[in-house]
Amino acid sequence: MAYDRRTKWYSEHTTNFKTGLRLFWVLINYCSPFTTTVGPKSIDFKLSQRDFTRIRLKEYLGMGLSSRVYKIDWENTSSAIKVFNSGYDLSNEVEALQFLNRGNFSNIPTYIAYDDNSIIIYPVCERFGDKFQVSHALQLLQLLELIHKEQIYHQDVRPENILLDSDNNRLVLVDWGSAIRITDRRKRYTYEGTIMFASPNILRGNFGSYVPSASNDLHSFVRTMYILHNLSEMLAIPEGICHQKHG
Is 82 labelled a binding residue?
A: yes
The model's pLDDT over 131-143, given as tens digits with 9 standing for 90+, comes to 999 999 999 999 9
H/E stretch holding 62: strand 59-63
The residues near 52 (Cβ < 8 Å, ≥ 6 apart) are 44, 45, 46
User: If one looks up domain 42-122 in CATH, what number appears?
Assistant: 3.30.200.20
Give residue 196's pLDDT: 86
Give residue 28's pLDDT: 53
Closest to 108 in 3D by CA, of 92, 120, 119, 122: 122
Task: Tell me the C-alpha to C-alpha distance, in Å, between residue 133 and each of 34, 208, 229, 232.
Answer: 29, 35, 8, 14
Contact between 154 and 192 under an 8 Å Cβ cutoff? The reply is no
Is the model's pLDDT at 213 over the cut of 60?
Answer: yes
Give residue 35's pLDDT: 47
* Selected residue with higher pLDDT from 186 and 92: 92
Count Cβ atoms below 10 Å from residue 81 Cβ, excluding itself: 25
Give residue 9's pLDDT: 56
pLDDT band of residue 193 (cuts 50, 70, 90) is confident
Percent of the chain with pLDDT over 90: 54
Contact between 102 and 113 under an 8 Å Cβ cutoff? The reply is no
User: Which one of 1.10.510.10, 1.10.3470.10, 1.10.3720.10, 3.50.30.30 gives the CATH number of domain 129-243?
Assistant: 1.10.510.10
Q: How far apart are CA 115 and CA 117, in angstroms?
A: 6
SS (H, E, C) 144-180: HHHHHHCCEECCCCCHHHEEEECCCCEEEECCCCCCE
Task: Tell me the C-alpha to C-alpha distance, in Å, between residue 205 and each of 4, 208, 219.
Answer: 57, 5, 15
Give residue 38's pLDDT: 46
Give residue 3's pLDDT: 41
Give residue 72's pLDDT: 96
Would you give the DSSP letter of residue 103? T
Give the domain ranges of the chain.
42-122, 129-243
The model's pLDDT over 61-85, given as tens digits with 9 standing for 90+, comes to 988 888 999 999 999 999 999 999 9
Task: Tell me the C-alpha to C-alpha distance, in Å, between residue 203 and each of 115, 193, 200, 241, 246.
Answer: 36, 12, 5, 15, 11
Contact between 202 and 191 under an 8 Å Cβ cutoff? The reply is yes
CA 65 to chain centre: 10
Query: Comparing 97-101, 121-125, 199-203, 214-218, which segment has the lowest mean pLDDT?
Result: 199-203
Cα angle 167, 169, 170; round to 5:
105
- As beta bridge partners, residue 111 has 121
Task: Tell me the C-alpha to C-alpha distance, in Å, between residue 129 and each of 10, 118, 227.
Answer: 30, 27, 11
